[in-house]
């Protein structure tokens, strides 16, 4: 006999409740727009970050969101692929990370990279090969409506560094 689980949202910290509200808003208004998930943390923090990121990623995947991944950390693209696949496998989701997620890759340069990415995404992130097909990111049909941060329903920044989070907020909201 299994005991009923407590209502997660009513017992959750404020940040989780706010994210749940954002997911509901996304479902009601912007489900056709993609979501940008930024993986800007060091590999040593993968376990801790995954605990916090699993719920939002699972919610997005259950809604068949087009997830774009990006990083200003060299290991970011590998970390993003691992986390997306782990969330799918651990939750038994029918989300295909190869066809529904778009890896934008890694861009060096810290705050300048974030600023450039915010200003001109297509010219900053260009020529990236997706898988073995030889198709460039911006040639994919699922990327035609995205050319700036305004093209995303939301931007989710996963980071282990408060200064990095602040950089994303400052650099991405100026433009």
Q: How much is the pLDDT for 18?
A: 66
- CA–CA separation, 35 vs 64, rounded Å? 11
Phi first, then psi, for residue 33 (nearest 5°) are -90, 145
pLDDT per position as a tens digit, 94-120: 999 988 999 898 888 888 888 888 888
Give DSSP secondary structure letters for 23-86: HHHIIIIITTS-EEEEEES-GGGHHHHHHHHHHHHHHHHHTT--EEEEESSTTHHHHHHHHHHH
Higher pLDDT, 80 or 149: 80
pLDDT per position as a tens digit, 14-52: 555 566 676 777 666 666 789 999 999 999 999 989 988
**Contact 18/131 with Cβ under 8 angstroms?**
no
Compute the C-alpha angle 141/110/106, nearest 5°. 35
Higher pLDDT, 149 or 88: 88
Q: What pTM was estimated for this model as a whole?
A: 0.83
Q: Tokens standing for 42?
A: 């060091």
User: Alpha-carbon torsion 175, 40, 157, 78, what sign?
Assistant: positive
pLDDT per position as a tens digit, 104-161: 988 888 888 888 888 888 888 865 555 556 677 888 888 888 888 888 888 889 999 9
Q: How much is the pLDDT for 141?
A: 83
- CA–CA separation, 74 vs 108, rounded Å? 8
pLDDT at 82 over 80: yes
């Amino acid at each position: 006999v299994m005991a009923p689980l407590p209502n997660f949202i009513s017992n959750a910290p404020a940040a989780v409740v706010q994210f749940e509200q954002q997911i509901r808003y996304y479902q009601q208004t912007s489900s056709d727009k993609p979501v940008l998930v930024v993986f800007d943390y060091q590999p040593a923090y993968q376990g801790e970050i995954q605990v916090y990121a699993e719920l939002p990623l699972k919610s997005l995947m259950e809604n068949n969101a087009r997830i774009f991944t990006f990083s200003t950390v060299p290991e970011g693209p590998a970390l993003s692929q691992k986390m997306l696949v782990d969330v799918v496998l651990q939750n038994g989701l029918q989300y295909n990370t190869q066809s529904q997620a778009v890896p934008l890759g890694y861009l060096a340069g810290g705050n300048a990279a974030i600023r450039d990415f915010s200003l001109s995404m297509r010219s900053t992130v260009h020529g990236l090969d997706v898988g073995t097909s030889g198709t460039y990111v911006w040639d994919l049909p699922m990327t035609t409506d995205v050319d700036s941060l305004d093209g995303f329903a939301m931007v989710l920044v996963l980071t282990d560094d408060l200064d990095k989070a602040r950089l994303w907020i400052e650099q991405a909201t100026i433009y």
